[in-house]
Amino acid sequence: MANHKSAKKRTRTSERRRLINQMSESRIKSSIKKVIATTDKAEAEKLYKEAVALLDRSAVKGKIPKNNASRKNQL
């Protein structure tokens, strides 16, 4: 376990970031699954647009690699 004040702070910060990254990744996966699961064409187009926007935004912010986002855009 961390003994220094800065090491304890880093542990807290890392835990917070881990949870945020986990939520972000989960949101991306869920949006892709929704697009694949839907049968209605109009609904699928709407969900696809939202999923692509989420993927692109995540790639720009550096949460996922650019090529990873590009590959997932090609559902």
Query: Average pLDDT for residues 8-34, to the nearest whole number?
Result: 95
State yes or no: pLDDT of 2 exceeds 90: no
pTM score, two decimals?
0.81
Give the pLDDT band of residue 75 (cuts 50, 70, 90). confident
Structural element, H or E, at residue 16? helix 5-37
Token code pair at residue 33: 């699954």
pLDDT single digits (tens) 25-65: 999 999 999 999 999 999 999 999 999 999 999 999 999 99
* Rounded-to-integer distance, Cα 67 and Cα 13, Å: 28
